[in-house]
Structure 1
Amino acid sequence: MGELRTERLLLRRWRESDLEPWAAMNADPEVREYLGDVLTREQSDASVAAFQAEFDERGYGWWAIEVQATGEFIGFAGLDDVEPGLPVTGVEIGWRLTRASWGHGYATEAARATLIFGFTVLDLREILAITTATNQRSQAVMRRLGMTHNPADNFEDSSAAPDGPLRHHVVYRVTR
């Protein structure tokens, strides 16, 4: 499946023209606030190559998001296997948008399309979302999607600073 369409958005495979705005997003400390250090251009480009390879291998992954009316690249959304070594397993939904596109409902709109894809095309029974405990914006999107949080699923990222904002994580879930 190459693309998903919503009322306002196109979730599609990555293009060469996405590399520059993607790198700018990854160099923005506010966009990366709950993700860790900003990325170099090389790291950012490598992430897109990895996204493409994973998508080709599995048939799902991270789509680039563009606004249909303008063709503007505004970020990504999609599904990925939960990273090995975490205390939860399954398929995780995620999104990341440019700062200029925050507050317009794009994350929820793209994530809804992604959930539908996961449940109908991939026939998943459950989809998870993981974020830092301090990332209230993403948790609000998770709640709007009908996802629920069980505090028993919370975990600590041992690679993060013990008292840092990236240490404590929450898990939200939604079932088909």
Structure 2
Amino acid sequence: MHDVTAYLETARLRLRRLTEADAEALAALHGDPRVMRHIDDGRPVPRHVVLSETLPALLREYRERPPRLGCLAAVEKTTGDFLGWFSLRPATTRGLHDGTELGFRLLPAAWGRGFAAEGARALVREAFTALDADRVVATTMTVNHASRRALEKAGLRLVRTFFEEWPEYIEGAEHGDVEYALDREEWTLQQT
């Protein structure tokens, strides 16, 4: 029998399903103010919320979504360290309804080392080859330059800037959000 948590590997990353054993690492990720400053309400998520709501919801996705969709732990191959997560899901975030949505969240220790682009590229390839996606999309705040660079390095292009109502002000929200996308034809051309 194969490992049900295994998913795919890159040169430096092992992407696998999250498990209950990832609870504390996930709590540290979602609880880090630097990680969360451009996400949701811009505030860290309390540990008890991650353990009682976030992780159970992510694990439930494996049962409710088609295979190969959901959130994947990103583990550095050489050290075994949990670096964060990447995800592929049906696009529903902030008004997106077309395509397969790429997302990622990494611990600050992984920032600036190319892991975001490496993982994003792997999931873009996965979306077009294994999932037969027609389009991959992603959103981030306009001011989140590091995530924008990672999306561009993964082959996505800027489609639009848009403005959403935030329940509470987040620093940089006045600059809006950006949508990036890549369709199958563009991706195929990039591969040649």
TM-score normalised by length of structure 2: 0.83
- Is residue 92 from structure 1 mapped to residue 98 from structure 2 by the alignment? no
1:2-81 equivalence runs, <5 A: 2-35=6-39, 36-45=42-51, 46-58=53-65, 59=67, 60-81=69-90
Deviation at 1:102, TM superposition (A): 0.7
* 64-73 vs 161-170, greater mean Cα deviation: 161-170
Q: 2:166 aligns with which of 142, 159, 176?
A: 159
1:107 aligns with 116
> Is the Cα–Cα contact under 8 Å of residues 19 and 59 in structure 2 kept in the other structure?
no
Offset at residue 62 of structure 1 (A): 0.9
Share of identical aligned residues, percent?
Answer: 32
1:129 Cα deviation from its structure 2 partner: 0.8
Which residue pairs with 2:136 in the alignment? 127
The alignment partner of 2:34 has SS state of coil
SS in structure 1 opposite 2:146?
helix
Q: Alpha carbons of 1:174 and 1:21: their partners in 2 closer, same or farther (altered >3 Å)?
A: same
Name stretches of at least 5 consecutive residues in structure 1 with no aligned partner.
none
2:179 aligns with one of 160, 171, 175: 171
Question: In the aligned structure 2, how far is the partner of 1:83 from the partner of 1:11?
Answer: 23
- For structure 2, the residue ranges without an aligned partner over 5 or more in a row are 185-192
Report the 3-state secondary structure (helix = DSSP H, G, I; strand = E; otherwise coil) of the residue aligned with 2:37.
coil
Once the two structures are superposed, residues 116-143 of structure 1 have per-residue CA deviations (whole angstroms, 9 ceiling, x without a partner) of 1111111001100100111000000111
Any idea what SS the aligned residue of 2:36 has? Answer: coil
The count of aligned residue pairs is: 174
Contact 1:87 1:155 in 2 (8 A): no
